[in-house]
């Protein structure tokens, strides 16, 4: 389809009525557009407004479907994997072994596995879930069960006082009831039941500023004996792509290990986007964790899935985390074939240099050119955020429509908002996280279109 085409009246009416039936999660009117096709990083989007009359716009996608489609739309590797899986792999659950599951786990964690240097088969084991939220729920369950003796139905000796989980201001770990207490923003928590540490086996969640070494040192010096776990995003996503200072993550891991505190890395968003598969890394190599949860890119844009990688000594009571979705063969086939393609093509490693080019373009063409609209760029690899000014944040809906009419699809994150310890307020932030298949020419075109839409938005204000 091209920009000169339009939907039939029948399809236009079907999309409008279907949109009214679909649950609106955002608390604001939904975008008046619908995707009707796509290939690579291009999307064919229908304008559903009365004046648009179903006209088709061809957009460049900077979001990769909430950061999930590392190979874009319609990639031949994914198509082949799906055909093979449907025809050959069966549909068994985790109660039975699976050749496809065994092949995937050996490829990742076996003696010559691509992640064996980080997660050895002797020390870790793996489970699959439907989504990032479900993966984080399982991680939380592993944390809570680590202090519980399921056979005697009481605390493990020496773990009775471990009643606190440390999280970070601005974090996003998922929307389920178990995860909402990990979010410090009142909007997500007020009106919902919270955790009660006064009850038997109760637990409380406390929050400190992310990336602030002084806050981390102060907290551990006064609360380490009560800490059960720390849950951290190596790069905060919904907070606005906040990157911690050098050495911060390793210092956090060292403190956790020294005090017997479990360290959980939420890499659902960061997986594959930082120039390495795992953002829990620094110049000295992998930063050790007890539990790591990955997702988004893992499903190659066609499956919603996540993976929980946990130390072998961590476990749960019998049948406590059984899931229909635990590494089903079709899921394993797509993951294995997709990751093999990423490794052969060095797409993850090359995204590091790609990110440097992206940073230069964004700084020059957006932040410095439109200081009344954008205040700052942050990020690495194919995960960058462009923070709005307070003035433009108040008109975010107008900005997004202007960008779409300029031919580019972008998503916006909430920002960290108000933070303690003198750290500044973080406004909503535009996320630029294109698929790994994006070329430099396409990237330049994306930034040009964002600049064009921004100019239109600024002129209208």
Q: With b meaning 16 or more CB within 10 Å and e meaning fewer, what string describes 191-200?
A: eeeebeeeee
What is the chain's Cα-based Rg? Answer: 23
C-alpha torsion angle, residues 243, 183, 436, 452 (rounded to 10) = -80
Report residue 38: phi and psi, to 5°: 180, 155
Q: What is the pLDDT of residue 402?
A: 97
Tracing tokens 């000169």 back to the chain, one arrives at 4
Q: Which residues pair with 307 in a beta bridge?
A: 128, 294
Give the per-residue pLDDT at 1: 45
* pLDDT on residue 386: 98
Whole-angstrom distance, CA of residue 175 vs CA of residue 101: 28
Q: What is the pTM of this model?
A: 0.96
Contact 440, 356 (CB under 8 A): no
Packing angle of the helix pair 329-345, 76-88 (nearest 10 deg) = 150
Strands 148-149 and 154-155: antiparallel
pLDDT confidence of residue 160:
85
Rounded CA separation 59/41 (Å): 8
Q: What angle do CA 194, 199, 200 make, to 5 degrees?
A: 125
**Residue in the block written with tokens 């096709």:** 37
pLDDT at 399: 97
Q: Which of 28, 62, 41 is nearest to 431 (CA)?
A: 62
Q: Could you tell me if 295 and 131 are in contact, meaning their C-beta atoms sit under 8 angstroms apart? A: yes
Q: For each of the chain's 461 residues, which pLDDT tens digit applies? A: 455 689 999 999 999 999 899 999 888 888 999 999 999 999 999 999 999 999 999 999 999 889 999 999 999 999 999 999 998 888 888 899 999 999 999 999 999 999 999 999 999 999 999 999 999 999 999 999 999 988 888 889 888 889 999 999 999 999 999 999 999 988 888 888 877 777 788 899 999 999 999 999 999 999 999 999 999 999 999 999 999 999 999 999 999 999 999 999 999 999 999 999 999 999 999 999 999 999 999 999 999 999 999 999 999 998 889 999 899 999 999 999 999 999 999 999 999 899 999 999 999 999 999 999 999 999 999 999 999 999 999 999 999 999 999 999 999 999 999 999 999 999 999 999 999 999 999 999 999 999 999 999 999 98
Would you say 426 and 239 are in contact if contact means Cβ atoms under 8 Å apart?
yes
Q: How many Å apart are CA 242 and CA 398, to the nearest integer?
A: 25
Q: Quick one: which of 204, 223, 216, 208 has its CA closest to 165?
A: 204
Q: How far is CA 70 from the centre of its chain?
A: 12
Identify whether the C-beta of residue 224 lies closer than 8 Å to the C-beta of residue 255.
yes
């Amino acid at each position: 389809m091209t920009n000169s085409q339009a939907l039939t009246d029948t399809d236009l009416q079907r999309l409008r009525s279907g949109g009214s039936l679909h649950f609106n999660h955002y608390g604001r009117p939904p975008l008046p557009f619908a995707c009707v096709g796509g290939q690579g990083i291009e999307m064919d989007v229908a304008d559903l407004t009365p004046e648009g009359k179903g006209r088709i716009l061809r957009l460049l996608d900077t979001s990769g479907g909430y950061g999930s489609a590392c190979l874009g739309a319609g990639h031949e590797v994914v198509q082949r994997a799906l055909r093979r899986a449907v025809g050959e792999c069966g549909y068994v659950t985790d109660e039975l072994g699976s050749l496809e599951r065994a092949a995937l786990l050996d490829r990742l964690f076996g003696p010559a596995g691509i992640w064996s240097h980080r997660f050895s088969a002797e020390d870790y084991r793996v489970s699959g879930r439907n989504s990032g939220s479900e993966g984080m729920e399982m991680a939380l369950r592993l944390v809570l069960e680590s202090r519980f003796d399921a056979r005697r139905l009481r605390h493990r000796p020496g773990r009775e006082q471990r009643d606190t989980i440390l999280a970070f201001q601005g974090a996003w770990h998922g929307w389920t009831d178990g995860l909402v207490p990990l979010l410090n923003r009142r909007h997500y928590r007020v009106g919902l039941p919270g955790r009660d540490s006064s009850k038997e086996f109760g637990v409380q969640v406390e929050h400190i500023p992310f990336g602030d070494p002084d806050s981390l040192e102060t907290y551990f010096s006064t609360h380490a004996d009560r800490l059960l776990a720390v849950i951290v995003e190596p790069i905060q996503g919904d907070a606005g792509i906040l990157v911690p200072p050098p050495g911060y993550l390793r210092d956090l891991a060292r403190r956790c290990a020294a005090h017997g505190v479990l360290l959980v890395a939420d890499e659902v968003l960061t997986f594959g986007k930082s120039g390495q598969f795992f953002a829990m890394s620094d110049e000295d190599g992998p930063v050790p964790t007890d539990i790591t949860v990955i997702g988004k890119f893992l499903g190659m844009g066609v499956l919603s899935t996540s993976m929980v990688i946990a130390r072998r000594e961590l476990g749960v009571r019998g049948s406590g985390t059984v899931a229909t979705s635990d590494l089903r063969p079709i899921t394993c086939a797509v993951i294995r074939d997709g990751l093999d393609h990423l490794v052969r093509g060095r797409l993850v490693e090359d995204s590091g240099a790609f990110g440097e080019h992206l940073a230069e373009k964004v700084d020059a063409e957006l932040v410095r050119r439109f200081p009344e609209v954008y205040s700052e760029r942050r990020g690495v690899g194919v995960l960058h955020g462009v923070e709005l000014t307070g003035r433009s944040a108040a008109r975010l809906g107008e900005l997004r429509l202007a960008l779409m009419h300029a031919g580019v699809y972008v998503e916006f994150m909430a920002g960290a908002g108000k933070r303690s310890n003198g750290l500044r307020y973080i406004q909503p932030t535009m996320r630029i996280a294109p698929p790994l298949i994006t070329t430099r020419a396409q990237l330049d075109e994306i930034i040009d279109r964002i600049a064009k839409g921004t100019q239109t938005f600024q002129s209208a204000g």
